[in-house]
Amino acid sequence: MFEGKKIIVGVSGSISAYKAPMLVRELIKLGAEVRVVMTPSAAKFVSSLVLTNLSKNPVIMEMFDEEIQHGGSWHVHLAGWGDAMIIAPASATTLSRLANGNFDTALTVVASALPRSTPLVVAPAMDSDMWNHPAVLRNVVQLERDGVTVIPPAEGELASGIHGVGRLPEMDVLLNALRYALGSKSPTAGQNGTTDSGGFHPQSREFHSSQQDFQSFTKNFTPPARDEVMNEVLDRPTFSPNIEPSNTEVSNDVPNSPAVPLDIDSSTNEVMNEVLDRPTFSLDDAVEKDKWTAELEFQKLKDSILPPSENKLEGKTILITAGPTYEKIDDVRFIGNFSSGKMGFALASEAVKLGANVLLVAGPVSLPTPNGVLRIDVQSATEMYDAVMQNFYKSDIAILAAAVADYSPVNSVTGKMKKRDVGDTMNLELQSTKDILASIGAIKNNHQILVGFALEAANEVENARKKLTAKNCDMIVLNSANKPKSGFGGDDNTITLIKHDTEESFPPMTKNACAVVILDHISAMVHDG
């Protein structure tokens, strides 16, 4: 189905954007050619460099990027190029823009320019309360009425920590939806006011052509208190934007004819008149404002993520670990350490600025994901081991800054142990955890660079050198437990860089400054071969 197909993948500002590279990769593996359009907000969750490398095409983010202009109609050319477009994830803001005709981003302007024969598929992803908001559901219903294939979000644990409906569906669901849209492609499919695309039932993962089916399932996502609101929305007559909302009549005998309000009641007519009477602004003013806004955002993004003079690690994939691990005793207690993860996150942030594709495996820390970084959250040493081993093979550089627990309880308890049951003394049987640094040191090839961290309290340099050799590292970053502004928790660090033939110590400095120094040494190793 996808062999030789041209697919436009849109990515908007939802935390589920980190799954977009997986969608692009799967489409490429299935034989499709992919072009990616993303919003600036999406870049907060996933790197455009990752998507560029996977798709083998430059990612478009800004409407007024001079490099993509073709007589001012780049969006028309791209929209005409695609056989289908899928927006995954689609944020609440993007749904609103599409449903209400606010085409003020590169992503939505491409969607607006799709030929009517080109199917558009959207996969919303957001928190449950956002999904259940009447405004969001109104927009979903409107999109469905416009002929857009809407894939309802899946149920499960959300980024907020709650359980509910809002997750981006699994990859097979997205691909099946896209297959369906491509298979049903017709002169009337797409954004033409028809319901060719039908509704999607997440339970059966089957499509239904009935608009009523979609409306029924949509109402199921609203609490009873909102039923009245949704019923009013669902009962409103639809109209084609291409037909004047007056006394125009369309034969109901014509297959796939756009829905036109034939019997408009007084309340609906009042609403329509209010909308039609709203004042409009100068198009030139809007374009000028958008142009300057886009330029400022582009410059800010370029300066914060990819300074042009600092692309020392461009094209390199770096795997970084950060933070502590928590080893479960019972459901409320754990063995851990005081690591804050700040050093690893600083390394990730600075590596992106040097042009690297960064995968950050983070233990349980309360830190925001740096711009352009793909993040995997783990809790235990075993989970971190699995994540590192699964991703090390595709990495050029690995920096293991996490403070991984050396031991974990042999048996953890479900629930909470009671003090009255345990007594005054608790005896824990511990077992050693897998040595992540040694494990990847044993399998790394000559083209991969491995950097480890060592926190030492005695014979510091000697012990760091032993670790360098034993773990087959290319460099060890030594932290002293005895020096001020060093070790866990703070914003500063005092480091010594240990290589096989050199040793260099640095004064106390911020962890971001330490990250710059460490990455500068790694860059030198990369370019020296």
Tens-place pLDDT, residues 7-18: 999 999 988 888
pLDDT of residue 63: 75
Tens-place pLDDT, residues 52-65: 888 888 888 887 76
Q: What count of other Cβ atoms lies within 10 Å of the Cβ of residue 389? A: 14
CA 26 – CA 21 distance, rounded (Å): 9
pLDDT of residue 193: 35
Strand pairing class (199-201; 206-208): antiparallel
Domain boundaries, the chain: 6-232, 307-528
**Amino acid residing at 331:** D
Q: Which CATH architecture has domain 6-232?
A: 3-Layer(aba) Sandwich (3.40)
pLDDT of residue 69: 52
DSSP 380-393: SHHHHHHHHHHHGG
What burial letters (b/e) apply to 7-29, b meaning 16+ CB within 10 Å? bbbbbbbbbbbbbbbebbbbbbe
Tens-place pLDDT, residues 338-369: 889 999 999 999 999 998 999 999 999 989 99
Asked if the domains at 6-232 and 307-528 fall in one CATH topology, the answer is yes
Closest CA to 319 of 340, 343, 354, 347: 347
The CATH number, out of the four listed (3.40.50.10300, 3.90.180.10, 3.40.50.720, 3.20.20.70), of the domain defined by the range 307-528 = 3.40.50.10300
Averaged pLDDT of the chain? 77
Closest CA to 448 of 500, 387, 525, 504: 525
pLDDT of residue 323: 92
pLDDT of residue 455: 86
pLDDT of residue 67: 56
**Low-confidence stretches of the chain (pLDDT beneath 70):** 65-73, 184-311, 483-489, 529
CA 103 – CA 511 distance, rounded (Å): 41
Is 6 exposed, middle or buried, given 0-12, 13-18 or 19+ CB atoms closer than 10 A?
middle
**CA distances in angstroms from 357 to 48, 371, 395, listed in the order given:** 9, 11, 9
Would the CA dihedral through 102, 76, 194, 210 be positive or negative? Answer: negative
